[in-house]
């Protein structure tokens, strides 16, 4: 959780009405308000930050599609090497086919009708095309 937000300019440009400077100030004020609530676990109205954070994890999209498991992992370089070694060994034995792609950032797209309801959904992908790049690696391995 960081403030000011990295996508400040993008967010300000999506808002309608008024000069861009005023829209940036509005985004800064709103995101500071949210940052303080989340950073200090402040319950506001019916919003409970810890419940929301748990629901973000529970409602994140990380399931199987087309008989394949797709996921984004935030891990140490040591764990990445161990995972790669294990997958390489399993591929040699014909147990799995896989594609990996390492990058330094991820992106989460959220559909949140209301932060007070539990039906928000979060789609996570690598910020530099993680799933597509991993699929390219998989196809190269299969060729």
Q: What is the pLDDT of residues 80-114, one digit of tens each?
A: 999 999 999 999 999 998 888 888 887 788 888 88
- Residues linked to residue 61 through DSSP beta bridges, in sequence order: 123
pTM beyond cutoff 0.85: no
Q: Any idea where the domains of the chain sit in the sequence?
A: 1-40, 47-142
Looking from the CA of 125 toward its CB, the CA atoms found within 13 Å total 12
pLDDT of residue 63: 56
Rounded-to-10 torsion of CA 80, 120, 66, 94: 20
Rg of the chain taking only CA atoms, in angstroms? 19
Instruction: Say yes or no to pLDDT of 71 above 80.
Output: no
User: What are the pLDDT digits (tens) for 33-49?
Assistant: 999 999 999 999 999 99
């Amino acid at each position: 959780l960081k403030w000011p937000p990295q996508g400040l300019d993008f967010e300000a440009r999506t808002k309608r009405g008024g000069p861009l400077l005023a829209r940036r100030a509005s985004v800064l004020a709103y995101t500071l308000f949210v940052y303080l609530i989340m950073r200090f676990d402040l319950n506001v109205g019916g919003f409970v930050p810890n419940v929301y954070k748990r629901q973000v994890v529970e409602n994140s999209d990380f399931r199987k599609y087309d008989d394949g498991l797709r996921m984004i992992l935030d891990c140490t370089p040591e764990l990445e090497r161990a995972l790669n070694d294990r997958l390489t060994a399993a591929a040699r034995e014909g147990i799995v086919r896989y594609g990996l792609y390492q990058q330094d950032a991820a992106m989460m797209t959220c559909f949140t009708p209301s932060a007070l309801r539990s039906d928000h959904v979060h789609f996570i992908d690598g910020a530099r095309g993680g799933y597509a790049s991993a699929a390219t690696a998989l196809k190269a391995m299969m060729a």
